[in-house]
């Protein structure tokens, strides 16, 4: 489905009924990365997946991008869909956007799932890497970005043995427009440090990380779990950065358990590690 939000076209999917769960994808992918979550979880919940501005079937204007703007797009979409409160799942860049979203719209957040993400801002070196990647996107196009990103997103074993999954990720990356890739890179480089926010996140929070994730390693996930008052941590074995694609069953089970408890009105039981 497509709708006009903040002056551009935003594409999204809306499937199932019940407590809404909103999924925000990683850089530089799109909402189809959530296909297996949509399939399994829409049997019990209302699943909303969004192509963030710059991605998939949404417009990719050649202009200034910020994560706060993406959070505003998500909020406007929820207003159009008459959704007051939801569980939000963000993977990596999707998680960075959730920090921006929580700063502005905490009342909308019934529960947070922060997967493969981190609260720290970029280091000077990290910002420089973003700049270099934007130049590469401009000069060589999205295929060069896929070549750089795939080893950061998937484990070596996945890359060696799961050709269809690697192709799926490559196709998502190659489908992006350069304006969207460069816009995201600038937005991520400019994002603030969210560590001071962590102690103020009062909703139930599930943190997920792949044990082999090098982009946002388990130490980043543990830091969030330690500082968010009502958080629990799940480490998924055999997965790197894209846990939901590499280990969809484990990922879905974690979301299902978390959402089922929130739907019953319970606080997911106790902080801790699976
Ligand atoms: C992502 O998966 O969204 C990116 O790896 C995030 C990042 O580059 O920091």
Would the CB of 112 count as within 6 Å of ligand 1?
no
User: According to the model, what pLDDT value does residue 141 have?
Assistant: 96
Strand order in the sheet with 231-236: 2-5, 8-15, 46-50, 20-24, 86-91, 109-115, 205-210, 231-236, 272-273
For tokens 């560590």, name the residue. 195
Residue 118 CA: nearest ligand 1 atom is: 9
% of the chain beyond a pLDDT of 90:
96
Task: Give me the mean pLDDT over the 80-88 stretch.
Answer: 98
Would the CB of 52 count as within 6 Å of ligand 1?
no
pLDDT digits (tens, 9 = 90+) for 178-195: 999 999 999 999 999 999
Would you say 4 and 214 are in contact if contact means Cβ atoms under 8 Å apart? no
d(CA 239, CA 252): 14
Would the CB of 26 count as within 6 Å of ligand 1?
yes
Task: Give me the mean pLDDT over the 13-33 stretch.
Answer: 98
| Contacting residues for 92 by C-beta, under 8 A, at least 6 apart | 26, 27, 115, 116, 117, 215, 216, 241
Is cis: bond before 28, omega within 30 of 0?
yes
Asked whether residue 273 carries a pLDDT value surpassing 70, the answer given is no
d(CA 254, CA 190): 31
Q: How far is the CA of 154 from the centre of ligand 1 (A)?
A: 12
| Contacting residues for 100 by C-beta, under 8 A, at least 6 apart | 66, 67, 68, 70, 71, 191
Among 216, 240, 243, the mutation site with the greatest number of ligand 1 atoms within 8 A of its Cβ is 216
- The Cα-based distances of 195 to 72, 154, 234 in angstroms read 21, 26, 20
pTM of the entire structure?
0.96
Task: Give me the mean pLDDT over the 32-41 stretch.
Answer: 98
Asked whether residue 14 carries a pLDDT value surpassing 80, the answer given is yes
Please give the span between the terminal C-alpha atoms of the chain, in angstroms, as a whole number. Answer: 36
Cα–Cα nearest to 243, from 215, 207, 208: 208
The total number of residues written for the chain in this structure: 274
Asked whether residue 272 carries a pLDDT value surpassing 90, the answer given is no
User: According to the model, what pLDDT value does residue 269 have?
Assistant: 56
Asked whether residue 271 carries a pLDDT value surpassing 60, the answer given is no
Give the model's confidence band at 265: pLDDT under 50 very low, under 70 low, under 90 confident, else very high: confident
Task: Give me the mean pLDDT over the 202-211 stretch.
Answer: 98
User: According to the model, what pLDDT value does residue 266 have?
Assistant: 74
pLDDT digits (tens, 9 = 90+) for 86-140: 999 999 999 999 999 999 999 999 999 999 999 999 999 999 999 999 999 999 9
Asked whether residue 212 carries a pLDDT value surpassing 80, the answer given is yes
User: According to the model, what pLDDT value does residue 268 have?
Assistant: 73
Give the model's confidence band at 225: pLDDT under 50 very low, under 70 low, under 90 confident, else very high: very high
Task: Give me the mean pLDDT over the 14-31 stretch.
Answer: 98
Cα–Cα nearest to 60, from 115, 136, 137, 168: 137
Cα–Cα nearest to 112, from 91, 90, 88, 93: 88
């Amino acid at each position: 489905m497509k709708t006009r939000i903040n002056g551009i076209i935003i594409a999204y999917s809306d499937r199932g009924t019940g407590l809404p769960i909103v999924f925000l994808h990683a850089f530089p992918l799109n909402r189809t990365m959530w296909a297996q979550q949509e399939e399994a979880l829409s049997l019990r919940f209302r699943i909303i997946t969004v192509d963030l501005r710059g991605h998939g079937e949404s417009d990719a204007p050649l202009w200034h991008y910020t994560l706060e703007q993406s959070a505003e797009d998500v909020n406007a979409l929820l207003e159009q869909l008459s959704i007051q409160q939801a569980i939000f799942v963000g993977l990596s860049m999707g998680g960075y956007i959730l920090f921006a979203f929580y700063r502005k719209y905490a009342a909308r957040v019934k529960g947070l799932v922060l997967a493969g993400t981190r609260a720290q801002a970029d280091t000077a070196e990290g910002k420089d890497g973003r700049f270099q990647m934007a130049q590469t996107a401009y000069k060589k196009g999205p295929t060069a970005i896929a070549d750089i990103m795939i080893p950061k997103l998937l484990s070596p074993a996945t890359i060696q043995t799961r050709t269809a999954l690697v192709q799926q990720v490559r196709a998502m990356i190659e489908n992006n427009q350069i304006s969207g890739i460069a816009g995201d890179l600038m937005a991520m480089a400019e994002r603030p440090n969210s560590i001071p926010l962590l102690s103020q996140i009062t909703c139930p929070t599930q943190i997920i990380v792949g044990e082999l994730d090098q982009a946002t390693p388990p130490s980043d996930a543990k830091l969030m779990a330690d500082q968010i008052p009502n958080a629990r941590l799940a480490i998924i074995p055999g997965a790197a950065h894209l846990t939901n694609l590499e280990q969809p069953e484990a990922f879905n089970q974690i979301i299902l358990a978390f959402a089922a408890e929130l739907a019953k009105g319970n606080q997911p039981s106790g902080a801790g590690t699976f």
